[in-house]
Every structure is written in C-alpha cells, then in structure tokens.
Amino acid sequence: MIMALAAETKTLLETLGCIVDGGDLAVHSPIDGSRIGAVVTATVDDIDDAVAQSQAAFLNWRSVPAPRRGELVRLFGNALRAQKYDLARLVTIDCGKPLSEGLGEVQEMIDICDFAVGLSRQLHGLTIASERPGHRMMEQWHPIGPVLIISAFNFPVAVWAWNAALALVCGNSVIWKPSEKTPLTAAAVQAIFEKAIAAFGDAPAHLSQVIQGERDTGAALVADPRIALISATGSTEMGRKVGQVAAARFAKTILELGGNNAAIISDKADVALALRGLLFSAFGTSGQRCTSLRRLFVHDAIYDSFVGALKSATGSMSVGDPLDGNNLAGPLIDEQAFAGMRAALDEARKIGGNVTGGERLAMDGVYVRPALVEMAAHDGPVLRETFAPILYIFRYHDLAKAIALQNSVGAGLSSSIFSTDIRECELFMSAEGSDCGIANVNIGTSGAEIGGAFGGEKETGGGRESGSDAWKAYMRRATNTINYSDNLPLAQGVTFDIG
C-alpha cells in the first residue's frame, strides 16, 4: 500500500497537470500514514512578491466586465468536470475522506462555478429615492482587492472554490493558503485553474496563486496590509487570532470556524428517517466536518428504542480504507486528532458518561470506531468541539429546554430537528428557536447545498460563504448621489447661503 499510494499520487498529479518535484514540507496520507510527496514552502520574500503580484493582477481584473470574468469561471468548471474523478481520488488520498465524499466535494466545486457564472450577470445595486428634487441616489458594489483564502484539511478544495469562484466574478485576485496537512490537492487545483486561464486567453498573470506553508506563512499573509479580505476556515482559536490581526488594520474578514452542532429527535419524529440522517451527520468524514453532529437530544418517550437502534446501526458501520467503496468512514487525519478524541472520551467517563465504541482499530493509519456517549450532564467535553466521531446523547422532555441547551454552547453553526409536528418545527426555526446560522428540519446538520449562504453565529465567526447574497462580502459598497437639477438643496433642510 505504501509504495502504491505514493506512486498513484504521483500519477494523479501528473494527470492533473501538476508536477511536484519535492520540497521541505513532507506530505503524508492519512490512509496509511505513508509519505506521498513534498512541497516547497514560501519564504518571506516569496510571500511579499506574491502579494505584490496579486495586487497588480487585481488592478487589471477589476476593469474586466463581470460577465467576461464569469467566462473564466465557466471554463474552470468545465475543466473540473473533465478531471472530476482524478481530483476526487487525490482528495481522498490527501485527506482520507471516502471516495464518494471526495467526488461530492469536487461536484461542489463544479456547482459553485455554475452559480458564480450566473451571478456574474446579476451583480446588482439599488436605486434609492432622494428627499431632494432633481436628485437620485443609488448604491453600487465594486471589487474589493486581493482576497486571501485560508482553507482547512477536511474540505481541502471545495471551500477554496466557494470563495474563489465568487471572488473572481466579483473582480478580485485570490491567494490560497491551504492546510499544511493537505497541500497536494491545492497544487493540483491550481494546475487545473491554469488550464482555464490558458483557454480564457487574456487574464492577468498571478490572478490566482497558491502559497504553501505552515502557520507562520498564514500569519504573514493575514498581516499584509495589501490583502483586502481574509476568508479563513478553521478552528475558533485560529479565527480569534486572524480576527484580531485583521481588526488591527481594519481588514474585512469572512470567518468560518468551529461548530458544536446539535439535533433534536422529537417523539413525533419519523424515526427511520432520523436514524439515517443522524448517522451521516455524526460520522460522515469520520466526524471531521465543521457541521458534524456532536450533540443529540432524544425525547424521553422514544429514548430507549431510538438509542438502541442507533447503537446497532453505528456498530455495523464499516470503517476502513476510504478508497474502498464498501467503507462508510475512513481514518482520522493524524495522531493528534486521535489524542483529542481519547482525551474527550476519558473526560466524559469521569463525569458519568457511558461510552459505546471509540476504540482504535489495528490498521496502518488512525482508524477508530465511532463513539456514542450517553450523558447525564451537559458539561465537560460536551461544551467544546472535538474533531472526531463522538456523539453525546441526552434525554429531554420539554422542547424549549432542549433548544436552550442546544444554544448554550459557544459555537452556532448548524442544527436540526426531526419532527412531523409543524408547531415544533416552526418553533425551532423561529426567533425563539435555534441560534445557529443553519437550522434544518428533518435532515441532518451536515451536507449543505451551495445555493444557501453557509456560516454560523457566535464563536463560529459570523461569516457567510457560497450562495444567496454572500457575494457582497467580496465587494465594497459605494453610495452615490446624483444631482441632475440646476439647484443645490441640502439634505435635512439645512441652509448654507453664501449670498
């Protein structure tokens, strides 16, 4: 397997048009822990040059008509279609998610390209009534400048695409700082994008760049005053640091951070539907999604039967090589992730948690059984996000109290309720209900579509990416007042007569 993975990675990269000849940052596949390549990390001078080149590209690109900018994204989407399988397989090797999920991630890139192409002909402002005769007010949106995209290992290509597709049609240049854990997929995507650039014909040089490196590289980019917008996906701890540095220089940010997501299973739920929805939400990507289900509130009346069925279904889940389509879950990203999982389970046991599963499997790589933890108290490790397949389970009787517990944690990303009672569902989605950026009914917490704005509240950062009107974050707003009369009245009836 070790030699086979390294050889396949090299072949995939070459097929995707990317030659990686080695470097100082070694890359290991979580599938078996083997080394599959290395990339060159950026120096301080490299970073400075890249930002200067991005600024120059922006000054050119902002003047290109938006529909023409959309044509570049259309070509990129087509290039992704042509190499979807190869890129998806590389995603699986690089981050360890099952191949089905890798294919879904590349499809998400294609979908956001389609969305952005349509958006390029719909970027719009407003006409606003003026209180002054012979005047008109309007609002316009203009390109903002170089956009820095910091992505995480768990979605090594899709999150970049969410940001880059919109940033490009909005008239901006982009710099990508991928996770140091998954740098090969970033290099491959850049190679595919360069094919689209070549087909486009007249895009400015350095419109999109990849800067490889570790945390210090990201920190240098965040601090650069030439970067107009920072879109950062990662932990709440990382987001706090990014936010503070950006705020010190008044840069705009889109922060998509941690999630401690919950679902409520009503006694009026379609139990079979709920069970299927929960399994993917909790254990898809081995619990390593920001939208992964972490906490489950089950009504007293169905608790014993539902949790029993959940234990049975979880115990039968196939965990193993993510390139094998028979497996529903692959490995954790690394040993650090397992250490965090083990520590959380130990802490839960100390406060009375009853743990089912969670064992490490005897395989190369970090493979674990999903863990179900029945808790008496909403406390301890329950209150924070552990990036691993752990689901904490609670009884509830009163829906309002369950919602209050759901909302009592720091993060506010995703949530869901399973119920066939419209009153319960509407309450959950109301101002008195979930305080999350995503509040679903009869589906799980993960697997969002690109048409809606994606993001959350509180310690999740408040940023929005992808669909709806998220495009406005990649632009600057200008309000214009036009006087087409011969007079110069002042607003609010102010007089300033100079005779």
Pairwise CA distance, residues 263 & 425, whole Å: 12
Q: How far apart are CA 421 and CA 302, in angstroms?
A: 15
User: For residues 325 and 24, what is the distance between their CA atoms, to the nearest angstrom?
Assistant: 33
- Residues with Cβ < 8 Å from 177, sequence gap 6 or more? 148, 149, 150, 151, 211, 212, 213, 217, 218, 221
Specify whether the CB–CB gap between 332 and 30 falls below 8 A: yes
> Is 290 known to be catalytic?
yes
CA 427-429-433 angle, 5° bins:
60
- Are 281 and 293 within 8 A, CB to CB? yes
108 flagged as catalytic: no
Contacts of 233 (CB under 8 A, 6+ apart): 150, 151, 152, 155, 159, 256, 257, 290
25 by Cβ neighbours in 10 Å (0-12 / 13-18 / 19+) ranks as: middle
The residues, ordered by sequence, that sit 6+ positions from 495 with a Cβ below 8 Å of its Cβ are: none
Cβ contacts of 99 within 8 Å, gap of 6 or more = 88, 89, 92, 322, 323, 325
Task: Indicate which residue of 71, 105, 108, 256 is catalytic.
Answer: 256
Sheet-wide strand order for 174-177: 208-210, 174-177, 147-150, 229-233, 252-256
C-beta of residue 32 within 8 angstroms of C-beta of residue 45 = no
Residue pair 463/256 in contact by the 8 Å Cβ criterion: yes
Structure tokens at 345: 């389970």
Catalytic residue among 113, 290, 425, 436: 290
Q: Which residues pair with 4 in a beta bridge?
A: none
Give CA–CA dist 487/499, Å, rounded.
Answer: 14
Backbone φ and ψ of 190, nearest 5°: -60, -40
Q: Which residues are catalytic?
A: 256, 290
